[in-house]
């Protein structure tokens, strides 16, 4: 049995929720979000709470999954999600042009990443923040940005998430002992 799935989701007064035919529509201060769920999952709205249940025991995993997705949607329309990346390296820079992020990463070309609907980029020196109401989409766009130039293990140059630890390797000079390569 799913213990997380049994917990009720509390809906605050500034968020409106509509449940119709396997779709839930959330609207709040940050925007609107729609979530579709399968027929085997039942979502009930009681006063200021949402309850998630399943039709049979074979779908218990879906109960916890959709309860978490609904909780993330409620949090997203209330406060939003943010994922921040740090760009390390001399000559690397990022800038925004409307809903497009332009990256200069030492390649022979400039990399442009378009922001999907409801996603915004914020650039402050070497920090890039991806902001939106959909947790999955914010993480996906942040991973796409990171994939353009992941932090390399020797000097740590490239993109890293804020707070991420990059384990550094020893270079060639550290691997040799007294001028003779170690075997």
pLDDT at 4: 81
Q: How far is the C-alpha of 51 from the C-alpha of 156, rounded, in Å?
A: 46
User: In this structure, are 38 and 98 located in the same domain?
Assistant: no
Residue 173: is its pLDDT beyond 90?
Answer: no
Higher pLDDT, 179 or 61: 61
β-sheet bridge partners, residue 135:
none
- Give residue 118's domain range: 81-161
Distance of CA 166 to the CA centre of its chain: 20
β-sheet bridge partners, residue 93:
104
The average confidence (pLDDT) of the chain is: 91
Residue 50: is its pLDDT beyond 70?
Answer: yes
Average pLDDT of the segment spanning 127-148: 96
pLDDT at 20: 92
User: In this structure, are 96 and 39 located in the same domain?
Assistant: no
In a 3-state reduction of DSSP, which class is residue 109? coil
CB 79 within 8 A of CB 30: yes
The answer to whether residue 94 is domain-embedded is: yes
How many domains is the chain built from?
A: 2
Q: How far is the C-alpha of 62 from the C-alpha of 171, rounded, in Å?
A: 48
Higher pLDDT, 162 or 180: 162
CB 89 within 8 A of CB 157: yes
User: In this structure, are 59 and 92 located in the same domain?
Assistant: no
Average pLDDT of the segment spanning 147-162: 94
Average pLDDT of the segment spanning 153-167: 93
């Amino acid at each position: 049995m799913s213990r997380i799935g049994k917990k009720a989701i509390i809906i605050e007064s500034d968020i409106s929720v509509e449940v119709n035919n396997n779709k839930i529509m959330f609207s709040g201060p940050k925007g609107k979000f729609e979530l579709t769920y399968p027929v085997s999952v039942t979502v009930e709205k009681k006063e200021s709470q949402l309850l998630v249940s399943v039709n049979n025991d074979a779908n218990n995993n879906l109960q916890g999954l959709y309860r978490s997705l609904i909780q993330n949607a409620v949090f997203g329309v209330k406060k939003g999600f943010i994922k921040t990346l740090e760009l390390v390296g001399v000559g690397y820079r990022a800038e925004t042009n409307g809903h497009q992020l332009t990256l200069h990463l030492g390649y022979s070309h400039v990399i442009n990443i378009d922001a999907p609907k409801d996603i915004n980029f914020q650039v402050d020196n070497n920090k890039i923040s991806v902001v939106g109401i959909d947790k999955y989409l914010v993480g996906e766009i942040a991973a796409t940005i990171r994939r353009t130039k992941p932090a390399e293990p020797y000097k740590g140059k490239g993109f890293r998430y804020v707070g991420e630890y990059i384990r550094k390797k020893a270079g060639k000079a550290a691997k040799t002992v007294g001028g003779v390569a170690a075997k």
